[in-house]
Chains A and B, each alone.
Chain A
Amino acid sequence: MKNQKQPLDAGTLAPDFNLKDTPDQHVSLSDFQGRPVILVFYPADFSPVCGDEMALFNEVLPEFQKYNAQLLGISVDNVWCHLAFAKERRLRFPLLADFHPKGQVSQLYNAYREEDGEAERALYVIDENGTIAWGYFSPIGVNPGADGVLEALENLYKVPNK
């Protein structure tokens, strides 16, 4: 089955947001001005597969750090659920709660599945100026790998050919 939705266009300004990552702390996109940001939208915490998308991105974290990039996960789960999930999977990056109003940020990024009330499996790389450099929506039921993200990060640091 084809995924009909398209990511926001590269070159456009990434919508700012302010979401909780812990019960008493918020994270904004603008907090990371000057660094690339990787946004990983995913349907739900605690998917039943062990080697899942979050575990993979967690494992690839050192590679992202070589580009000084900040990884952020986003789903519609609330912060308490995120805390339990992050603890169980030993995730070493923030999970943001797109919980209230539900899915608002996912919608801004065109990554909300109304029929399921969950986020798409969508990936974005945002450059250090807050511009979308790359976006990708994975077909339903297929975890995206981290290959596209790494390539997009590499391209950010490439000197343009004259």
Chain B
Amino acid sequence: MSKLFIPVGSKDHIRGNHHAPVTLLEYGDYECPYCGQAHNVVMALQAQLGDTVRFVFRNFPLTQIHPHAFNAALAAEAAAQQGKFWQMHDLLFENQDRLEDDHLVGYASLLRLDIDRFIEDFEMAEIEKRVRDDFLSGVKSGVNGTPTFFINGVRHDGSFQLPGLLAAVERATRQVYL
């Protein structure tokens, strides 16, 4: 059974209650259509479960089949430098067929980011390293495609449609409280 190689830490992007008993972590790719579907599922799941689950997203761009995925990941990380990771994350998944560099800058301006700084951060070596580190940590954790979910550190091999993911998260919640 594959387990998360690097535990969730202060560098991670966390959505929801930071002290939630269950952590749902996704390794995802902004250009992957299945990750686009999963994005809606995760939003619905968090709306339904509220404070019991926190969501963490790590980058896993499959650059050979998704030529825009790497730069889209950079854009999300550059937006994070100005405190708007999740806003950019949502825009990217809502616009998966519009991920050219010009679009990315457009989303930055839509989010009222400082554009000069956004572009500077987008090109920064540390941001690129962050995305590559995410990818490698995913490989070492047994990521086997996109999206790959981990629930409290254990790879979820079941469905990522809402009923399957919901059942798995609820099972993990019960385990925490047992």
Contacts and interface: CB of A to CB of B under 8 A. Distances in A.
Q: Do A and B bind each other?
A: yes
A56 B60 CA distance: 10
Contact of A145 (B2, B35, B65): B2
A90 B62 CA distance: 11
A119 to B, nearest CB: 17
A58 B64 contact: yes
Contacts of A52: 145
Interface string A45-86: 000011111011011100100000000000000000000000
A142 B5 CA distance: 19
Interface residues of B, number: 26
Interface in B45-76: 62-66
B83 interface: no
A49 B63 CA distance: 15
B101 interface: no
Nearest to B61: A59
A44 interface: no
Interface size class on chain A is 20 to 34
Given A59-B62, A59-B64, A49 B142 contact: no
Given A63-B139, A145-B143, A150-B139, A51 B34 contact: yes
Interface in A90-147: 90-92, 142-147
B65 A90 contact: yes
Contacts of A90: 64-65
Contacts of B143: 56, 145
Contacts of A5: none
B140 A92 contact: no
Nearest to B33: A50
A56 B62 contact: yes
B144 A144 contact: yes
Most-contacted residue by chain A among B143, B144, B155 (CB, 10 A): B144
Interface string B135-151: 11001111111111000
Contacts of B136: 63
A91 B155 CA distance: 26
A53 B64 contact: no
A56 B135 CA distance: 11
Contact of B140 (A49, A59, A144, A150): A150
Please name the 10 residue pairs, one residue from A and one from B, whose CB atoms are nearest each other, closest first.
A51-B146, A145-B142, A51-B145, A143-B144, A145-B144, A90-B64, A147-B142, A146-B139, A142-B157, A55-B62
Interface of B: 2, 5, 29, 32-35, 62-66, 135-136, 139-148, 155, 157
